[in-house]
Amino acid sequence: MPITPLMPVYPRCAVRPVRGEGVYLYGERGEQYLDFAAGIAVNALGHGHPHLTKVLQDQVATLMHVSNLYGSPQGEVLAQRIVDVSFADTVFFTNSGVEAVECAIKTARRYHFVNGNPQRHKLITFKNAFHGRSLGAISATDQAKMRDGFEPLLPGFAYAKFNDLEGALALIDDETAGFMVETVQGEGGMTAGTPEFIQGLRKACDEHGLLLILDEIQCGYGRTGKMWAYEHYGITPDIMTAAKGIGGGFPLGACLATEEAAKGMVIGTHGSTYGGNPLAMAAGSAILDVMLEDGFLGNVTKMGERLRQAFEQMIPNHDHLFEEIRGKGLMLGIKMKEPAVSRDFVAHLRDNHGLLTVAAGENVFRVLPPLVINEDHIAECVERLSEGARTFGIPSDD
């Protein structure tokens, strides 16, 4: 077989979406799916949201792209709005999550460099982490499936176990720049950081002059029912990455930092041709318009609780399949019991029950609906999921 024109790095399934409407996706033959994957936590407002659509249409017709060599009234507005709703004093806009991670790593290294400590270049990161697919980001995880064949990777990372504070602190040495951690691990298995862990990392940073980088690309931006996942922990980071839901489907990411942490990021140290262009800024502003409306985040919390309760009720009926529920808000995961495999179950729900979810590490499947779902969508999800559980044949060992 010759290689496909589309580089075959994804195990693409038979779902071929051509249209979206709210919480539903439609395939080439008109078949309907309940989309509780949301482009992997991207389509925060679902598909075809009227406000996002209108703002983008208007902006396309007005001004799509200009160079970052010019002033950016659109970028100034969105950056100020993000600063107003976060710990941050400053924001760098990117086109993807991994570029925000790259900016975060560079910001941390520059901080210690301009402080006269260039040897402090090492980040302590965590097993099972996912920070994206650049060479820097795959260097920041221990996951072999992402690293194999790409060595030599970027030096300057050490890996501790997630939620193991002692283990992480034991790795601190004279070369440590800080920690980089997902507040709630997504791809790795939907595990929330424990309060002792996240707060302990913050405390260690304060004591040792280190930087805390939170990767909230998946768990931030309203996904857990708060604007940022760190708000659940009563701490703030020094640097943070955001993406996925921030553009609601338009490619947009951001690296946020305090004034102190960003002190090395002066003219000429970083850049991006497309980053923060007027169209992306319009998308970001449109998402915030909706997300900051009264009751939006409250609905996420409420729907998250409903969905979790419904899952809790369902689990005992399918004791052989499901082990536990993980995550926060509308970032939920269900861990499956072997020999059931989450990847197979995701395929079964998709192909036979019209329900889209996403597989994750540790035999978990992720439920990441648009943040605008209501009780009816939850009822429909649970119905399809229960039916799927009933019809799912446990694979035999042969």
Ligand X SMILES: *Cc1c(COP(=O)(O)O)cnc(C)c1O
Which parts of this chain interact with ligand X (CB under 6 A)?
96-98, 101, 130-132, 182, 186-187, 215, 217-218, 243-244
Q: Which of 358, 357, 378, 374 is nearest to 308 (CA)?
A: 378
Pairing, β 176-182 against β 122-126 = parallel
**Nearest-angstrom CA–CA distance, 73 and 59:** 13
378 Cβ contact partners less than 8 Å away, ≥ 6 residues apart: 303, 306, 307, 310
Q: Tell me phi and psi for residue 378, to 5 degrees.
A: -65, -45
The 3-state DSSP class for residue 159 equals strand
- What is the closest distance, in whole angstroms, from the C-beta atom of residue 223 to ligand X in the complex? 10
Least Å distance, CB 101 to ligand X, is 6
The residue (of 104 and 378) whose beta carbon lies closer to ligand X is 104
Cα 47 to chain centroid, rounded: 18
* 3 state DSSP class of 81: helix
* Annotation marks residue 335 as catalytic: no
Closer residue to ligand X, CB minimum distance, 217 or 382: 217
Minimum CB separation of residue 60 from ligand X in Å reads 22
Residue type, 182: E
Cα separation, 214 vs 202, whole angstroms: 10
Our CB check for ligand X shows the closer of 182 and 238 to be: 182
Which of 92, 93, 126, 130 is catalytic? The answer is 130
- CA 47 to CA 37: how far, in whole Å? 12
CB of 260 to ligand X, least distance (A): 24
Name the strand (E) or helix (H) holding 278: helix 278-291
Among 87, 215, 238, 328, the one annotated catalytic? 215
Q: What is the CA radius of gyration of the chain?
A: 21
Check if 376 is active-site. Answer: no
d(CA 188, CA 192) in angstroms, rounded, equals 11
Catalytic residue among 226, 244, 328, 335: 244
In whole angstroms, the minimum distance from the beta carbon of 192 to ligand X comes to: 13
Is residue 150 among the annotated active site residues? no
Which CB sits closer to ligand X, 192 or 378?
Answer: 192
Minimum CB distance to ligand X smaller for 138 or for 314:
138
Query: Which residues does the annotation mark as catalytic?
Result: 130, 215, 244
